[in-house]
Amino acid sequence: MIKAERHDLIVAELAKRGAVSVQNLAELLNASSATIRRDIAELDEHNIVVRTHGGAMLQDRNQELPFDAKVMAFHIEKRRIGAMAASMLTPGTTIGLGGGTTVMNMVTAMKKQTLHVVTTAVNVALELRDAPDIDVLLTGGVFRKRTAELVGHVAERTLQDVNLDVAIIGIDGIDLERGLTTYDSAEAFVNRVLISRAREVWILADHSKFGQVRPAIITEVGAISKLITDQNAPAELVAGIEKLGVSVLAA
Amino acid sequence: MIKAERHDLIVAELAKRGAVSVQNLAELLNASSATIRRDIAELDEHNIVVRTHGGAMLQDRNQELPFDAKVMAFHIEKRRIGAMAASMLTPGTTIGLGGGTTVMNMVTAMKKQTLHVVTTAVNVALELRDAPDIDVLLTGGVFRKRTAELVGHVAERTLQDVNLDVAIIGIDGIDLERGLTTYDSAEAFVNRVLISRAREVWILADHSKFGQVRPAIITEVGAISKLITDQNAPAELVAGIEKLGVSVLAA
DNA sequence: CCCAAAACGAGCAAAAATGAACATTGTTGT
DNA sequence: ACAACAATGTTCATTTTTGCTCGTTTTGGG
C-alpha cells in the first residue's frame, strides 16, 4: 500500500468516525504505528486533519461549532479544497476573502501563515482572531443576517481603496455559458467588486456546484485565474473550463 | 479511544442532554472517573463546558462569549444598566453602538425592538443576527482582535456618512477633569467620531469606572447627554457630573 | 444541624504514546 | 549495476496519559 492510499483511507476513516487512534489505523492499514504517525503528521501539516495525542481528528474541538460541521454537505471535500487553497498562498501577500463554508474551511487552514486579509465576511474575521500573523480589514457594510456577510456601497467603497494580490471566493454555481453564480444579488455584486480589485482570482467550489446556475451572476468563467475543486468534478466540464484559460486544481 | 474523541463525545452528550454526571460518562466512554474529571476540567478551561460538582453542563448562553474575566465582574450591574438603556430607546430611531461588555448587555436586551443600528463592534452585529426588526450597518475597518472592534480610517469614513439619533458607548474610566477615557487610542478615536455624528450621546458605565483615568481620551464629560450607571456610583462624583448638564440615571 | 455517601484533588506508579536515531527495504535515475 | 534517495520498520529514552489510593470537601437526607 502506498502512502497516498493510506492518506486517503485515513481521511475516509475520519470522515466516518470523527476521530481515530494511531493503533486502530495501524491495524486497519497494516502499517507500523511509526508510519501512521508520520502520515498523520503530514496530513496535519497540510491542515487536512488535526493531530492529537494518540491519534487524529477532523477538527479542533475548540473551534467546533455547536451545530452542523459533520452534517454539512461534502465537508470532507470542502476541507481538502480549503487546505489546498491555503497551501498555495504566498507569505506576506494581501488576499481578499468572500464568505461561504468552503472559504471558511480555507480560513481555518491558513491561520498559521503570515498574510494580510481583506474580507466581507464577519465569520472570517472572527475565525482569524487567534491568527497571530494575519491582520484583518473588514470592509463594513449592511450586515446580511443569513450569511453574516457585508454588502452594499460601504463594502464597495472600502474595496475600491485596496489592492489585492488574490481574491478568493466561494460560489453556488458554475456553468460554462451562465458563468459563476450565487443566490444573493447583493453578495454577488460585492464579490464582483472584490474580483475587480485583485490581480488573480481563485474560486473554491466542490463538485456539486458544477453545471448549476443560480439567480445572481458574479462574473464569467473566463475572468478567473484558478478554480480549486475536488476529485469528483465532472471531467468534460473541467476540460471546458480549462479551455477558457482557467487552471483547474483538484484537491 | 483517544482523548480528543472522548472530549468530542462528552460535548456531544451534553448537546443532547444538557448535563451529564461523571459516572454516566465513565460508563459510556469506558474510562475511569478520574480521567473523566480531567477531561471535564480541560474542557472547562477552554470554556467549552461548565464544570459542576458531579459532572458537567452546557455553558450559560448569556455569559459565554469571548470576554471571560471582564464579564464576571459587575455582571449584574452591567445587565441592569443594559436593560435600562434598552428600555429608553425610541422605536424606529438610528443608534450608533460602540463595543465593550456593557454595550453588549444592552444589545441582548434590545433584540425585540424596531431600530436601525450602526456599529463598530463585530460582536454587536452577530448578537443582532436573530433580531428580526433591527437592521445593522457595520462600519468596517481594521479588526482589533482583542476586542473584536473595528478602527481606523475605514470606520471613520463610514461614520461620516451617517446621522445618528443616539450614540451609545461604553468606557473604561470617567473623571471630571480628565473626561471619558479608555485603554486603546484607536478605539477612542472611533468613539469620538461616533459621538460627533450623533444628536445625543449616552454613556454606559458601572460604578467601578468612576474616578478612573485611562490612557486614551474619548471626550470631555460635558459633551454627553446621559450617563447610565448603577446604584453604587459615588454620590459626589455623580453630583459633579450632573452639574455639567449631564442627566445621570442609576439602574 | 449532623452524618453518611458521593465526589473531589493530589500524588504516584503503570501503561501508552511519542520523538529521534538507526537499520532495512524498495525505487529511481544514470 | 550502482549510488542516491525515499519510505518503512525497529529500538529506546522521554513524555503524556491513565487508573488507583487516600485524605479532604461537598452534598443531600433525616
Q: Which of B6-10, B42-46, B58-62 has the lowest mean pLDDT?
A: B58-62
SS3 B97: strand
Domain boundaries, chain B: 3-59, 69-250
Residue B66 clears pLDDT 70, i.e. is over it: no
Asked if A57 and B4 come within 8 Å (Cβ–Cβ), the reply is yes
Establish whether domains A3-58 and A75-250 are of one fold: no
Q: Please report the pLDDT score of residue A59 as a whole number.
A: 67
Give the contacts of A235 (CB within 8 A, at least 6 positions apart): none
Average the pLDDT over A159-186 and give the result. Answer: 94
Residues of B in contact with A150 (CB under 8 A): 138, 140
Topology (CATH) of A75-250: Rossmann fold (3.40.50)
Strand C-contacting residues in A 3-62, CB cut-off 7 angstroms: 21-23, 33-34, 37, 41, 52-55
Percent of chain B at pLDDT > 90 equals 67
Task: Say if CB B196 and CB B170 are below 8 A apart.
Answer: no
Topology (CATH) of B3-59: Arc Repressor Mutant, subunit A (1.10.10)
A139 at B interface, C-beta within 8 A: yes
Q: Please report the pLDDT score of residue B60 as a whole number.
A: 52
Residues 187-246 of A with CB under 8 A from B: none
Residue B201 clears pLDDT 80, i.e. is over it: yes
Give the neighbor-by-neighbor strand order of the sheet with A50-52: A19-21, A55-57, A50-52
Task: Say if CB A125 and CB B143 are below 8 A apart.
Answer: yes
Using one digit for the tens of pLDDT, what is the confidence trace for A60-94? 444 443 334 434 556 777 888 888 898 889 989 99
Domain B69-250, CATH: 3.40.50.1360
**CATH label, A3-58, candidates 1.10.10.10, 1.10.20.60, 3.90.960.10, 3.40.50.150:** 1.10.10.10
Q: Which nucleotide minimizes the distance between its C1' and the CA of A36?
A: D8
Q: Rounded to whole angstroms, how far apart are CA atoms A67 and A62?
A: 13
Q: Which nucleotide minimizes the distance between its C1' and the CA of A2?
A: D7
Length of chain A (residues): 251
Q: Rounded to whole angstroms, how far apart are CA atoms A138 and B156?
A: 13
Say how many CB pairs under 8 Å bridge A and B.
117
